[in-house]
Amino acid sequence: MHQLARNLHLQQDGPALYELRDLSYTYPNGQTALERIDLDIASGDRIAIIGQNGAGKSTLLKHLNGLLSVQQGSLAYKGQALLEEHLRRARLEIGLLFQDPDDQLFCNTLQEDVLFGPLNQGLDITAATAATNTALAAVGLAGAARRAPHKLSYGQRKRAGLAGLLAMSPDVLLLDEPTANLDPHQEEVLLQLLKDFTGTLICITHNLLFAYEICERAVVLDRGHIHHDYTFKELVSHKASLREHGLDFTFRFAESPMPEDLHADDQTQSPVRETHTDGHLAPENSPLIQLQDYGFTYPDGTEALIGLDLDISRGETLAIVGENGAGKTTLVSCLMGLRCGSGEYRLDGKQVTDTNRRDNCQQIGMVFQDSSDQLFCPSCYEEVAFGPRQLGLPNETIKKRVAEALGQTGLSGFDERVPLHLSGGERKRLALAAVLAMQPQILILDEPTAGLDPAGEELLLDILKGLDVTLILISHDLFFVRRLTHRTLVLHEGHPVQNYSTKDFFTDTNLTSLNQLDFTYRNRCGLEIMRLQHEHEHSHQHHHSHEHPHRHGDLVHNHLHEHEHEHAHTFSHTHRTEPDKPSQLPANSAQEPTHGHLPRADQPHDHEHPNHEEEPHKHEH
C-alpha cells in the first residue's frame, strides 16, 4: 500500500466541492430513485437532506462517496468524477455513517475497527494508533477500545462508528439517519460531536430539531427530484410546504412542555382514547396488572429492575419513559412472560410464575421496536395468522381475525404480499396487526415510532387511538406520549423514579435536570422554530415597481417595471398582549389564540430593497 500522506488531501478544482448535474439513477428492478438532480455543495456546507421515505435520499448519499456509480448525468468531487484512483483517494476523505452501526463495525474489537480507516490511508501503526486513541477519546469510548462491539449498547456502537470515521480526519461526513433509535441524551451527545466537526456535513434525517442545530442548508427531495434547496431557517418557516412533504413537525413540538400550554390543552385535547363509562375508568376491583417489589437481574449480575411497584388498571394507558438502558424493555419482557423476575406479579388477579408465564402472551401482545424482528412469514396472511394458529383456533376463526386485524391497521388486501417487500411503515402496521389478531387485552408498544417518517407516525397514531385495549407505550417521542397516555412511569437505571399522570410528567421541571432524560435542547429548538414560523406567517407577497437591469430574451435593458414576488421579510410587529417579550409565543395555528397586532409606525417592515416604503405598492397583511 503506497503511502498517502495524511495532509495531502485531494486538491479542489473549481468552486464547488461537489457538482451534480442532471444526475439520475434507476435500480435494476426498475425503480427510479433519482431524476435529474442538479446540486452544488461547497466546502464547509452543512446540509440536511430531507424528504419522505422513498424520496431518494439514501441513493443520493451513496452517490456522494461512490458506493453507487453514476448511471446518468455527472457527479464531480473536487472537480473530477469518482472513478478509479480518484475514487480510491476520495473514499479516504469522505466518511459515511451508516444507519445500522453493526454494518459499520465489522472488526472484532473497537480498536481494530477504528484502526481500519487510518491504516487504509497509509499511516504507519504508531500514527494510526494515535489517531485511533484520539478518536475514541473524543466520542467517550476510550476505555472500551479492547471490547467487542456486540458487548456495547446501541448508542455506544453508534459513537464507535463515528469514531471510526473521525480517526480518518475526513473532509466530508455523510450521515444516514444518525439519530434513529437514540434517546434524547444520546442525541445531544452526538449533536455535540457533530458540532465540533469542521468539515462539510451532509445529513439525512427526519429529526428536524437535530438538523436545525447542525445544518444550515436544507435540500428537500420529493420522488427523486430536488423540491427545494434553501437555508434551514427558510425551510422551517414554511409551515405549509413542510406539510406538503408529509414533514409537518409543528404538531410535534406545538405541545412542547409549557405550563400555560398544557392547561389550555387539557380541556381541548386530552388523550382521545375513549374509556368505557362516561369518561371514568371502568370500575374494577383489582388492577389488571399488579407488580410488587418486582425486580430482574441478569445472570451476569446486572440489575435491570429494582423494587418496582406498579398497578395498571383495565383500559388505562401508561407510558414508560427513560433513557436507553433504564430497564424499560426488560420490564415489558417480564410483563410478557418472556423473562421471569423476582417479586410478585399478578395478571388479572392470577399470580404469574415461571411455569405459567408463557401463557401471558394470550392476554398481552407486544410490538417490538424493530418490526423485522417480528416478521418472518412469506405472506402477510400467514404472518397475521401465525398467532391465532399457535393458539389453536379453527381455520374459519383465523380467517376472520386476520381480515379484522388487517382492516384495523389499514392493510386490507395485503394478504398475499410479502412482508419483506413492504415499506417500513407498512411493516410496523403489519406487526401490529399480527399482534392484534390474537385479541390481547393489553397492548405493549416498544418505540413504535422508530424508523417512521412523520406521515407514518400520524397514521399509526390514528390506528392506535381507535383501539380498545389497555396500552403500555415505551417511547422517547413526547408527542406520542402526550397524545396517547394518561399516566407516565419514569425509569432510571432500573429504578422507578416517578409514576404520575402524563400531565404532571410534562410539567415536571425536575426531570430535565436528570442528566439522562434531557429534553431541554429539544425545547430550546422547538421554541426557536416556532418563532421562525410565526414570523413567516407574517411574510407575504406583494407587487411593487422598481428599476433594475433585467433580461428579456437577448435584450438587456433597464426600466421601471412591476413584479410580484414573495419577499422573505417580516412585517415588524409586536403583540398586543406583551409588548416586548418574544418568548411569549402562542401555540400552533391549530389552536392559536387570537392575537392582534398593530404595525409599528416607525418601521413598517424590514426589506432588502432600500427605500422600499417610498415606492408605490400594495399588499395585505
Partner 1 sequence: MTEQQTIHLAAYWLPLLGCGVILCSWLAMRALRRMITTRQETPNEQIPTIDAEASGRSLIHSWDPRFKIIALLGFAFCAVSLQSPITILIALLLTIITLAIARIPWHRPLRRLLAMNGFLVMFLVVMPLTVPTHSGDTLVVFGNWQMLTCNLRGLELALIIIGKAWCVALLMEPLLATAPLGATLEGLTRLGLPGKISEMLLIAHRYLFVFLGEVQRMRSGMEARAFRPGRRWDTLRDLGNFVGMLLVRSFERTHRVYAAMQARGYTGTLPHHHQFRGAMSDWLQTTIWLGLGLGLVLVDRLGVGGF
Partner 2 sequence: MHISDGVLPTSIALGAGAASLVLATWSARRSPAEDLPKVAVVSAAFFVASLVHIPLGPTSIHLLLPGVVGALLGPAAFLAILLGLVLQSLLFQFGGLTALGGNALMMGLPALACGLLFQTLRGQSRKRQAIVGALCGGLGVLGSALIMAVLLALSGEDFLGIAKLALLAHLPVVVIEAIVAGFIVSFLARVKPELLEAPFTLRKTPPVLDTERKR
Interface with partner 1 (CB under 8 A): 1, 62, 65, 67, 88, 91-92, 94-96, 98, 100, 102-109, 112, 115-117, 119-121, 125, 128, 146, 148-151, 164-165, 168, 298-300, 302, 333, 336, 338, 358, 361-362, 365-366, 368, 370, 372-378, 382, 386-387, 389-391, 420, 434-435, 438
**Nearer to partner 2 (CB atom), residue 29 or residue 277:** 29
User: What's the angle, vertex CA 440, arms to CA 434 and CA 441, rounded to 5?
Assistant: 150
| Contact partner at residue 125 from partner 1, partner 2, none, CB < 5 to 8 Å by partner kind | partner 1
| Contact partner at residue 29 from partner 1, partner 2, none, CB < 5 to 8 Å by partner kind | partner 2
| Contact partner at residue 418 from partner 2, partner 1, none, CB < 5 to 8 Å by partner kind | partner 2
In the bound complex, what is the minimum distance in angstroms from residue 172's beta carbon to partner 1?
11
Contact status: 421 vs partner 2 (CB under 8 A): yes
List Cβ<8 Å contacts ≥24 apart for 446-450.
Answer: 446/328, 446/329, 446/332, 446/366, 446/367, 446/368, 446/369, 446/474, 447/181, 447/369, 447/474, 447/475, 447/476, 448/367, 448/473, 448/475, 448/480, 449/475, 449/477, 449/480, 450/180, 450/181, 450/369, 450/370
Contact status: 28 vs partner 2 (CB under 8 A): yes
Contact status: 378 vs partner 2 (CB under 8 A): yes
Q: How far apart, in whole angstroms, are the C-alpha atoms of residue 331 and residue 196?
A: 37
Q: Is 95 helix (H, G, I), strand (E, B) or coil?
A: strand
In the bound complex, what is the minimum distance in angstroms from residue 29's beta carbon to partner 2?
5
Q: In the window 134-163, what residues touch partner 2 (CB under 8 A)?
A: none
**Nearer to partner 1 (CB atom), residue 370 or residue 493:** 370
Q: Is 555 helix (H, G, I), strand (E, B) or coil?
A: strand
Q: Where are the beta strands (DSSP E) in 4-67?
A: 18-26, 32-41, 46-51
| Contact partner at residue 493 from partner 2, partner 1, none, CB < 5 to 8 Å by partner kind | none
Q: How far apart, in whole angstroms, are the C-alpha atoms of residue 327 and residue 153?
A: 13
In the bound complex, what is the minimum distance in angstroms from residue 109's beta carbon to partner 1?
7
Rounded to the nearest 10°, the torsion over CA 135, 140, 146, 148 is -110
Question: Contact region for partner 2 (CB under 8 A) — 268-276, 386-394, 415-423, 541-549?
Answer: 415-423
**Nearer to partner 2 (CB atom), residue 175 or residue 335:** 175
Q: Is 398 helix (H, G, I), strand (E, B) or coil?
A: helix
Contact status: 423 vs partner 2 (CB under 8 A): yes
* Cβ atoms within 10 Å of 125's Cβ, excluding its own: 10
Contact status: 420 vs partner 2 (CB under 8 A): yes
| Contact partner at residue 488 from partner 2, partner 1, none, CB < 5 to 8 Å by partner kind | none
In the bound complex, what is the minimum distance in angstroms from residue 529's beta carbon to partner 1?
33
Cell matching residue 299: 445472570
Cell matching residue 153: 449498547
**Nearer to partner 1 (CB atom), residue 382 or residue 493:** 382
**Nearer to partner 1 (CB atom), residue 232 or residue 296:** 296
Q: Is 207 helix (H, G, I), strand (E, B) or coil?
A: coil
Q: In the window 446-465, what residues touch partner 2 (CB under 8 A)?
A: 453
Q: How far apart, in whole angstroms, are the C-alpha atoms of residue 221 and residue 229?
A: 9
**Nearer to partner 2 (CB atom), residue 62 or residue 544:** 62
Contact status: 26 vs partner 2 (CB under 8 A): no
Contact status: 31 vs partner 2 (CB under 8 A): yes
Q: In the window 95-124, what residues touch partner 2 (CB under 8 A)?
A: 99
Query: At residue 413, what are phi and psi to the nearest 5 degrees?
Result: 90, 0
Site pattern 52..81 for partner 2 (x: CB under 8 A):
-xx---xx----------------------
| Contact partner at residue 59 from partner 1, partner 2, none, CB < 5 to 8 Å by partner kind | partner 2
Q: How far apart, in whole angstroms, are the C-alpha atoms of residue 37 and residue 71?
A: 12
Contact status: 200 vs partner 2 (CB under 8 A): no
In the bound complex, what is the minimum distance in angstroms from residue 479's beta carbon to partner 2?
21
**Nearer to partner 1 (CB atom), residue 172 or residue 236:** 172
Q: What amino acid is encoded at 357 in this protein?
A: R
Of the candidates 99, 81, 97, 101, which has an alpha carbon nearest to the alpha carbon of residue 89?
A: 81
Cell matching residue 610: 432600500
**Nearer to partner 1 (CB atom), residue 384 or residue 484:** 384
Question: Contact region for partner 2 (CB under 8 A) — 422-430, 441-449, 492-500, 560-568?
Answer: 422-430
In the bound complex, what is the minimum distance in angstroms from residue 385's beta carbon to partner 2?
15
**Nearer to partner 2 (CB atom), residue 31 or residue 231:** 31
Q: Is 562 helix (H, G, I), strand (E, B) or coil?
A: strand
Sheet containing 289-297: order of strands: 303-312, 289-297, 342-347, 350-351
List Cβ<8 Å contacts ≥24 apart for 616-619.
Answer: 616/544, 616/545, 617/542, 617/543, 617/544, 617/545, 618/542, 618/543, 619/540, 619/541, 619/542, 619/543
Structural contact between residues 387 and 438, judged by C-beta atoms closer than 8 angstroms: yes
| Contact partner at residue 500 from partner 2, partner 1, none, CB < 5 to 8 Å by partner kind | none
Query: At residue 194, what are phi and psi to the nearest 5 degrees?
Result: -75, -30
Of the candidates 448, 446, 489, 439, which has an alpha carbon nearest to the alpha carbon of residue 468?
A: 439
Binding residues for partner 2, per CB under 8 A? 27-29, 31, 33, 53-54, 58-59, 99, 378-379, 418, 420-421, 423-425, 453
